[in-house]
Amino acid sequence: MTLHVDAAGDRLVVTISGELDLESDPLLQQTLSKALDRAVGGLELDLAGVDFCDCSTLNVLLDVRDRARLSDKQVTLRATSRAVQRLLTLTNTLALFAGNRTAPDGHPAPSQAVAGRTAPPAEPTRERAAPDAPTAHARRPHSTERTDRSHDGLAMENAQLHRAMQTRAPIDLARGMLMASFHLTPEQAWQVLVTTSQHSNTKLNRIADALVQTADGHTPLPEPFANHLATAVRVHNSAA
């Protein structure tokens, strides 16, 4: 893993490349925490060069994001690789790192590039309102309405964080079981879980839960999962 920290207005851009796992997490946590303390507005993460990212690293990113929120700062993604985007998408946490960035002059910054793609520009605002449309003053929501919406948004984020925390542990355990049982690398074990999830049309955390339950030596893996898992192990193990 390599890390570079650069200034961008009131924020710091942290560019990370290489493999992110349990071994690299302490250095990543230390670097991001120090950068967050120094940054006035928060951090922007450039993860386009990350080849591998596991759930333990997601835990680090969520912890740093939580610290940033307590300080009225943001931790957002400037760019990300397929490996990172896949992890954030499967754990339903991608939206948590898509905060609104602003340029040093106070205007909105350009759209963020995610996984090498840039979001299309927003449609221009219409200058003329419809004949029956209310005035700008009438359309302005009441203060209590804005408060309710902000509470709804916070509740949604908390729910997403809770789901992510619940799914990380079983997924990490399942990957460890696959690595120990079939002599797989961390990336191969992750690919086995993803492939099994895709081919069985089942959420990855359910696959992980079922696999972890077999650790007692008495609970068999359900037949559909077992067949897809065996095929995925053969494919990704031979690919090495």
Say yes or no to pLDDT of 1 above 80.
yes
**46 close to 32: Cβ distance less than 8 angstroms:** no
Torsion sign over Cα 33, 186, 51, 110: negative
CB 81 within 8 A of CB 47: yes
Q: Burial-class residue 141 by CB neighbours within 10 Å (0-12, 13-18, 19+).
A: exposed
Distance CA 171, CA 164 (A): 11
pLDDT in the model for residue 239: 55
Domain ranges of the chain: 2-117, 164-238
Which residues face 172 on adjacent strands?
A: none
Instruction: Report pLDDT for 71.
Output: 87
Q: Which of 65-69, 126-130, 176-180, 231-235 has the lowest mean pLDDT?
A: 126-130
Task: Choose the CATH number for 2-117 among 3.30.750.24, 3.40.50.1100, 1.10.10.10, 3.40.190.290.
Answer: 3.30.750.24
Query: What is the per-residue pLDDT across 163-207, written as a single tens digit (0 to 9) for each?
Result: 555 556 677 788 888 888 888 887 788 888 888 888 888 887 788
pLDDT at 2 (0 to 100): 92
Residue 22's pLDDT is what?
81
Reported as a single tens digit per residue, the pLDDT across 15-63 is: 999 998 888 888 999 999 999 999 999 999 999 999 988 888 888 898 8
Q: What is the pLDDT of residue 146?
A: 46
Selected residue with higher pLDDT from 131 and 224: 224
Listing DSSP states for 85-122 in one string gives HHHHHHTT-GGGG-PPPB-TTSSBPPPPEETTEEPPPP
Instruction: Please report the pLDDT score of residue 45 as a whole number.
Output: 95
Q: Which residue has the tokens 């928060």?
A: 42
pLDDT in tens, 72-115: 999 999 999 998 988 888 888 888 898 654 433 333 343 334 44
* Highest mean pLDDT out of 61-70, 128-137, 214-223: 61-70
* Contact call for residues 40 and 11 (beta carbons, < 8 A): yes
pLDDT of residue 46: 95
Report the distance separating Cα 97 and Cα 155, nearest Å: 16
